[in-house]
Each structure stands twice: as structure tokens, then as C-alpha cells.
Amino acid sequence: MRLKINPRVIEQLGKELITSDEIAIVELIKNSYDAGAKKTNIHFIDNKFSFYFQNMLIDVDQELKYAVMKDLKDACIIIEDNGHGMGLNELQEGFFTIGTTIKKLQKQNISNNDRAPLGDKGIGRLAAQRLSKRLYIETTNDESNHTYLVSVEWESFIYNEKYSELDIDVSTFPKTAKSYTRLWFTDLNLNLDSLIDLKKAKELMDDGDSTNIGTNIIRDNLQSALGFLMSPFKNLKEEFSINLYYRNFPVPSSSGINLINVAENEYAFKIEEKDGEINITCGLVIKPWYIERIHQTLIGKESSLEIRKSHLFYASLLKQHKDRFNKSLKSIVSQKTLIKELKRMNPNHNLLHENAATMLLDIVPIEAKIYSFKRDPKISASAIESAKENGYLKNINLNTTNLRSFLEYHNGIKLYRGNCRVSTLGDKDNDWLQLQQARTRGQQFFRFELGNTIGYININDPLQSYIKEISSRQDLIQNEHSFILKEVIKLILNKYFYEFSRNAYYITQDILKEEGLVPRRSIDTLKEEIKNNQKVVQDNRDDLKHFDQNLKKINEYFSKAEVDDDVRKAFGSLQDTSVNLKRNIEYTLTSTEKTNRALERVEQERKIIELETYNNYKLMANGLITEVITHELHSILSNLDSEDKTNYHFENIENHLLINDADDIYTEDFKPLKSRFNLINSKMLDMNQFYTFLERTFLYKGTHEDFETQDVFGFLEDLEKRFEKKLKKYKINLDYSKIDLNWKVPRGALIHVFYNLIDNAIFWVNQRQIKSRTDKSYSIDERDSIVIDQVGENMILIKDSGIGVFKRVENILFHPLVSGKDRNGRGMGLYIVKKLLNSFGADIELLPDRNRFGNKYIFSIILRNDLEEGDDSE
Ligand SMILES: Nc1ncnc2c1ncn2[C@@H]1O[C@H](COP(=O)(O)OP(=O)(O)OP(=O)(O)O)[C@@H](O)[C@H]1O
Ligand SMILES: [Mg+2]
């Protein structure tokens, strides 16, 4: 017996394990890095006739060029590096040995100045199969006198019968450089357009802008895989650059690392060893434009003009209060506290947590920085401006569009070993630290928003002794080290950083208030003024009283004494003045009283508004909770066993009971249990359907600008599916065949509106059906129906064959907490629908027409109150 290995595993390893083209390219770049290269050039060529071998890193020998190009189809990819290359021996033992241990051996005698190899498993290059059917390896090293060219045609390799002896032809050519490797991918498996935007690239070529393709034409996936592959966060001592070319011309890649300086918050932590124990320092640094933003939100729109300060002002404010911030935005965590907190955070793994320090000591120092941004155009424009003015951003050409794409490509918290990223962690959509999950707890406001966060975590494990990626490069191998690493990072992010950002907010708020930068609400100031005023007038009145008394006394004295006419005259006018003064003061007093009363009314109004706002917030809060709950339900459902599986379990138990003659248990316990379970299960599945449906209405950062044009008919068609069961159960026709409209409404709005209306209609139709059983005046001959019709382009009517709206509620139908339903109606549905429609200029009304039961029954939905004629002509 002997162990045979079918070369088909090569295909498994390369094509199927590495699941994306961009990861395949990254693998080949990593090999160049391992070969000590200073440069890697990647060429994308969509048409071999327009490729003139410009910008080649290494000259191409004419003969060799011919040998490769002769059977070249139109498109190809070339990856070349100026590393140490391979001789015959390295080709054999390295490239052509699957699972080669060449790099493992290399690591054993590595010196401090060498690059620690990124390679480990000996399978990375097999990913080349994803890219093309044929691969040419062109390489040479210092010791070789020739350049070697090897052609690999993967299929003939893999499907070879005599797999123990695969001969590979090596041809030789004159050397054009001392050492290098160049991979030619011909007969591509992929469409180049999936890596670069060919259409845009060609357009740019046609514009004659061929010397430098100024616009970014790299596709998102490739961009985010290559971007930050080598850590841009540290000042690299070593030189290693990746350059992309389309046809003959350089393609700029938008790493734009400078923009990192526009972050409004910079979180950092360092885990290190101190006297044999783990010690963590963490902190938050805020930028002037953070304070500015908080200020803006505090003062609101109206007063912003007069109180708004310059960007420089906020910088000096920050400087002035530096110590105060520092005190609350820094923490040192000892090993003891760390373990205590880990256990508290996740009590299921106490044993592992007990060993956390030992694990961490293997991979310290661990350093991290996490930058958080705001993407809103206005806020980010202001941030960029401030960053420029305050000297944080040197490049004055950068703008919000740059920032937006910077975040788009590079968001995520990435893990680095030395200078290179470990697998694809923290790439777009790879939420390995479950930040999103954490956001549903506590105040979202103070948590990381995935898409607006860029960060790195750097571990010290140069030889990959503890932290390794899995073969598909999409996650870490699960072991105690990687588990603890993730736990500790999550702890720091979700506890300490959360606290910092909360503290930063409240301190900023306090400082702004203390500095008198936040106006007190104007109504309070007014009240205070009036009160002061009243007091002054009151005092005056008291004084006047004294004055009057004195005047009287003088008068009495004058009447007895001999006085000059002049003096008597003067005294008389004094008396007149006093009377006037008294009148004036009385007048002032009554008018302030009036003002006071008016003010009270204003206050009353405000309370009503506040109450309304409060109610709205309550609704919003309900929405949030619904979102969380449905999310949770969904995750329960996705983890639920399939129906087949549970049925299988049930069958087994059933058989067991019946075989063992346990009839009693079968009928009394088992059967009810099973039917109850099935009921719950089917309800859950309904719920799941509902969730996917509802999910679309969750507005993330929804604004009224989120309008989208909806095909109302198509929408109703979809919605009908949601009601299918109910409609069938109550035998109701839903007819919307006349609808032919495209409405521009905020995302999710139609769902709320129609869901409510149809749900109501079904309810009232059913009520009619129930009543008709005992009261024939409620029976109808035709089949029940809900009809949705349109009137022109801007109005939809919806009516049903149900009872209609009870007279007692017809005038207050759209008020909150009004429901015609006896017990179970919350009475919020139509209120919300109306408010929602109003919020974007639309409206709903109950038309005056009455049905055969004497009730109003037709609802009209009007898209816009103020039909703007101009809209169409624009
Ligand atoms: N650009 C290159 N320059 C020099 N040698 C190379 C180059 N690319 C590949 N090799 C050789 O081919 C071998 C196989 O590469 P491969 O990427 O499959 O495995 P690895 O890098 O050793 O490990 P890993 O699977 O973790 O990447 C390498 O060990 C190296 O000896
Ligand atoms: Mg490799």
C-alpha cells in the first residue's frame, strides 16, 4: 500500500480555496515581497496589439517575448518583481513543490534585518489558477547564468494520468537582469473588467490623456485588497512599492493616506509587557473639528450664524482645555483588571480568560490606532477645511469626494503582522470584530460606525508562530491566541473606547456651555428679563410711594407757611410730574404683566410641541426596537434546523414510542407537543419572510433626500405576496390592475402606507363577514375586494368591501390613539401614515363618499399638496 496524491488537489487548493481574484493577486505580491523585491509592477493588458512593453520593471528578452506572445490571446496580466528570483533548484524545491517548506526553513535562520517571510503554507501561488489557464514563470537569480522560462498549463497538469512523474519543460534565455521573477498570465479565466474599469480606461485613452490616467479606474475590490496591504500607518524603513499599469501607462491608486489626518477622533491602544505582566494603555485624541461639530449640533441651525466661530478658534479652545480632556480620555489597564473585565464581558470562557496574559505575552507589543470620520458632506467639508487651516492636512487639493472614496475603499480595522496585512481581515464587509453587533448595544452615538472607521492593529508575531490565517486567507485560524486577541480588542473597543467617546462628548458640551458658547434657550432669557424689569418697576413704585408721602408732608407745610410764588409754582409742577410718573409706572406694570401672560401662552404652545416631539421620538424608539427584535428573530431563524431535520427527529421519537407501545405518552404528550412545535415553526417562518420584507424600510441615516422612484404596480405586486395567506383565508380579491405609476418617495414610505391600509382593509372586510353571519344586512353578493385605483398621476384611491369607517371616528381618524377596533387597535397606524406622508409633502384623506352601510370608505393618497408645475419641465 502506498499513499497516492492525485494532482487534482492542486486545483482544489488554488482555485477553490482562494475565493476571489483580488486575493489571488495579493498572494503573488506577497511572494514578491518574500523574495526581497523593492518593486512589483502589475500590468493589465486588454489588447496585446496596443501594448508596447513600456514601463516594464525588467527588460524583456526579444526571443522570450516571442515565445510567450505567440499563443497569447488578446488579454493578459503580468506581475513582475525585482526580488531574488529563482534558479533551477529553487524552481524545483520552491515553486514546483506543493506545500513547500522553503519559507519555514528560511524563518529558522532569519536575522534581524531580514524581512520575515509572509509565506508559510507553500500554496499561495496556486491561486494563479484563478487568474488564467496558462502561466509562464520567467525567473533568474544571482547564481544562474540564464533566465528560465517555464510554462504551466494547469489543466494538463491536473488531469494528467501519470501523476507521479510530471515533466515540466524549462527553456533558457539570455539574462536581462541579475535576479527577478515575472509571471505571465495568458488565456485569462477572468474578465479584466472585474479588476479595472475598462470602459473608463478606454475613454481616458481616447481623450489623449494616455500618459497619466488621472482618474481612478481600479475596481473597488482590487483597490481595497491592495490598499493598505503594506501598512501605510508606520514609517516604513523598507522599500516596497506596488505599481499598476493599464496597457503601457501608470494607473494611480488612491491610497490617499494623508486623509487619515481628517479623522475627528483618533483612538489608540498599546498592549505591552511590564515587569512580566500585561499592561494596556489606551486613549482618545480629538481634533478641533470634533468640537466644532458638537458645537454646531448644540446651537442648531438658527443661531449658528452669530455664534459660529472660526476653525482656528476651536483649535485654541481644544488647546486651552487639553488637560481636562486628557484626564478623562486615557486609561491604563492592569493585567488583573483586564482578566476581570474579560470574564465580565464573556463569562462563558473563564478558563481561557484566566490564560489571557500568557497568550498576549507571546505576541506583544500590540499597537493599534483607530480613526473615525464623519461622511456627511457638510460635516466632512468643514472638517477638511479645518484640518487644512489648522495645519493637519498639507495637501490642499483634497476634498470631500476624495474623503468619501478613501473611506469607501479602506474602511475597516485591519490586522498587521510587521508591515503586511494578515489575510483580508477588516476589509470592506469583513466585520471580524463584530462592531456592528456592538452598535446595537448602548448608545449608538458613541460607538464605531463601520463604514466611517479606518484602523490598524499591529501584532508582534514575525514568524507566524501564534496568529495565522486560514488557507483561504479570509480569517484567522481559531486557536487560543487568536481567540484571546479578538476578545481583548473587542473589550478595548466596546468598553474603553466607548467610554472615551462618551466622555469626550460630555466634556465638550460642558466646555462650550461654560465658555458661554451655547445660548440659553431664548424663552428663558426673555422670562428672566421681564422678571428683572418687573422688579425694577415695583421698586420704583415703592419709591414713588415714599416720594408721594414726602410730597404730601411738604404740601401740608406749604399750606401753613409763607412761600414765594416761584417756589409754589415749582412745587406744583413737581406734583404734576409725580402724577405722570405714577401713571407711567402703572402702565409699564400692566404691560409687563401682559407680556408675561403672552409668554405663558408661548410656553404652553411649546409644551404641546414638545409633547408631540416626544410622541414622535417614542415612535422612533419603537421603530428601533422593532428593528433589533426582527434582527434577533432573523438570526434565530437562520440558525433553526431545517424542517426536514426536525421532522426526522420527530419521526424517530414517534417510532420509538409506537414500537414500545407507549400509546398514552404518544397521544397525550407527544402529539400536542409536535403540533405546537409545528405551529411555532410555521409562525417563525412567516416572521422571517416578514423580516426580509421589513428590512428594506430600515432607514439608515435617512433623510428626505433619500427619495427614490418606485414603480407602484411592481411594489404592490410584491406587497401582495406578503398578504397572500390572509387574502386567501378571508377570500378577498386585491385589485390594483389599473395602477400604472412611478412615484418618487422616500425609501420605505410606500411600504408603511400600504401595509397599514391593506391590513386595515382586511380587518374591516373580515368584520363585515363576521357580522353578516348574524346580521344579514351586512351580507353582500359579490366576492370581497380591496381595490386600489389611480386618479391622474398624483392620486391613488384605496377602498374595500368592508364595513367602512365608523361614523364616530370619521372626523378624528388621523389623530393619534384613535381606533375603531374594539380592543386590539393601537390607533396609531393612520396617524403615523399621515405624519409620514406629510413629512414629504404628501397626504392622505378620507373621501366623503359613503358605502352601502352609510360609512365613509375611500381613502385617497395625494403625492404632493402643492403640485409643482416646474418639476416636470425641469
Ligand atoms: N516572486 C517570486 N520570487 C521568488 N520566488 C518565488 C516567487 N513566487 C514564488 N516563489 C517560490 O515559490 C514558492 C511557493 O510560493 P507559495 O506562495 O505557493 O508558497 P509560500 O509563499 O511558501 O507560502 P504561502 O502559501 O503561505 O504563500 C515560494 O516558497 C518561493 O520559493
Ligand atoms: Mg506565498
- The CATH number of the domain holding residue 798 is 3.30.565.10
Report pLDDT for 874. Answer: 32
Does 119 sit in the ligand 1 pocket, CB within 6 Å? yes
Mean predicted lDDT score pLDDT of the chain: 83
Tell me which residue has its CA closest to atom 9 in ligand 1. 31
Q: Are 246 and 210 in contact (CB under 8 A)?
A: no
Distance 126 CA to ligand 1 centre (A): 9
Reading the block at residue 801, the C-alpha cell is 368591501
Q: What is the mean pLDDT of the segment spanning 146-151?
A: 96
**What amino acid occupies position 91?**
L
pLDDT at 686 over 80: no
**Is residue 2 domain-resident?**
no
Q: What is the pLDDT of residues 710-729, one digit of tens each?
A: 899 999 998 898 888 889 99
In a shared domain, residues 685 and 569: no
Residue 861 located in a structural domain: yes
**Which ligand has the nearest atom to the CA of 94?**
1
Choose one of 10, 27, 31 to mutate for the ligand 1 pocket test, by most ligand atoms within 8 angstroms of C-beta. 31
181 in contact with ligand 1, CB cutoff 6 A = yes
Residue 68 falls inside a structural domain: yes
Domain end (from 467, 493, 514): 514
Are 771 and 867 members of one domain? Answer: yes
Residues 848, 858 contacting (CB under 8 angstroms): no
- Sheet strands side by side (includes 241-246): 170-173, 147-153, 132-140, 180-188, 76-81, 39-45, 241-246, 249-251
Q: Which ligand lies nearest the alpha carbon of 139?
A: 1
pLDDT at 701: 46
Q: Which of 18, 34, 138 to mutate to test the pocket of ligand 1 (most atoms within 8 A of CB)?
A: 34
Distances (CA, A) of 73 to 69, 185, 258, 549, 714: 8, 10, 40, 116, 45
Contact 332, 269 (CB under 8 A): no
Q: 79: Cβ below 6 Å to ligand 1?
A: no
Q: Per-residue confidence at 873, pLDDT binned at 50, 70, 90? A: very low
pLDDT tens for each residue of 828-865: 678 878 888 887 788 999 999 999 888 999 999 998 74
Final residue belonging to a domain, choices 255, 281, 301: 255
On the question of pLDDT at 17 being above 90, the answer is no
Contact indicator for 185, 77 with CB cutoff of 8 Å: yes
**Residues near ligand 2 ion, CB 5 Å cutoff:** 31, 119, 124
In this structure, the answer to whether residues 384 and 527 fall within a common structural domain is: no
Q: Judge if the beta carbon of residue 802 lies within 6 A of ligand 1.
A: no
The bound ligand whose nearest atom lies closest to the alpha carbon of 100 is 1
* One domain for residues 79 and 170: yes
**Cα–ligand 1 centroid distance for 64 (angstroms):** 23
Is residue 463 one of the residues assigned to a domain? yes
- The region, left, alpha or beta by phi > 0 then psi within -120 to 50, assigned to residue 165 is beta
- The 10 Å CB-count burial string (b at 16+, else e) for 138-164 is bbbbeebeebbbbbbebeebbeeeeee
Task: Say whether both 267 and 153 belong to one domain.
Answer: no
Q: What is the pLDDT of residue 472?
A: 82
482 lies in the same domain as 534? no
Both 54 and 179 in one domain: the answer is yes
> For the chain, how many helices (H) and strands (E)?
30, 22
DSSP state of 647: H
Domain for residue 1, yes or no?
Answer: no
Q: Say yes or no: CB of residue 81 within 6 Å of ligand 1.
A: yes
On whether both 798 and 820 belong to a single domain, the answer is: yes
Burial class (CB in 10 A: 0-12, 13-18, 19+), 4: exposed
Q: Which ligand is nearest to the CA of 127?
A: 1
Whether 290 and 430 map to the same domain: the answer is yes
Of residues 322 and 225, the one with the higher pLDDT is 322
Percent of the chain with pLDDT over 70: 85
CA distance 13 to 31: 17
Number of domains making up the chain: 5
User: What are the CA-CA distances from residue 503 to residues 230, 285, 320, 373 (Å)?
Assistant: 34, 12, 17, 18
Pair 147, 64: CB distance under 8 Å: yes
59 located within any domain: yes
Q: Which atom of ligand 1 is nearest to the CA of 85?
A: 4
Q: Does the residue 702 lie in any domain? A: no
Same domain, 62 and 188: yes
Same-domain status, 717 and 824: yes
∠ CA 240-241-242, rounded to 5°: 135
CA 177–ligand 2 middle distance (angstroms):
23
Q: Is 120 in the pocket of ligand 1 (CB under 6 A)?
A: yes
Q: Which of 448, 479, 514 is the last residue of a domain?
A: 514
- Rounded Cα–Cα distance for residues 422 and 704 (Å): 41
Strand order in the sheet with 858-862: 732-735, 784-791, 795-800, 858-862, 843-846
| Any atom of ligand 1 within 6 Å of the Cβ of 179 | no
CA of 95 to the centre of ligand 2 (A): 10
Cβ neighbours, 10 Å, residue 430:
16
Per-residue pLDDT tens digits for 525-556: 667 777 777 777 777 778 778 877 887 887 78
Which residues, including other chains, have CB under 8 Å from residue 324's CB and lie 6 or more apart?
A: 507, 511
Cis peptide before 365 (omega within 30 of 0): yes
- Shared domain for 418 and 391, answered yes or no, is yes
The boundaries of the domain holding residue 650 are 643-695
What order do you get walking across the sheet with 330-334 strand by strand? 330-334, 277-286, 265-274, 366-372, 453-459, 412-417, 420-421
Q: Residue whose CA is closest, atom 14 of ligand 1?
A: 95
Give strand ranges (E) for 230-307.
241-246, 249-251, 265-274, 277-286
464 within ligand 1 shell (Cβ under 6 A): no
Q: Is residue 700 situated within a structural domain? A: no
The band of 617, judged by pLDDT with boundaries at 50, 70 and 90, is low
Q: Over the stretch 760-795, which tens digit does the pLDDT of each residue have?
A: 899 899 989 988 887 777 888 899 999 999 998 899
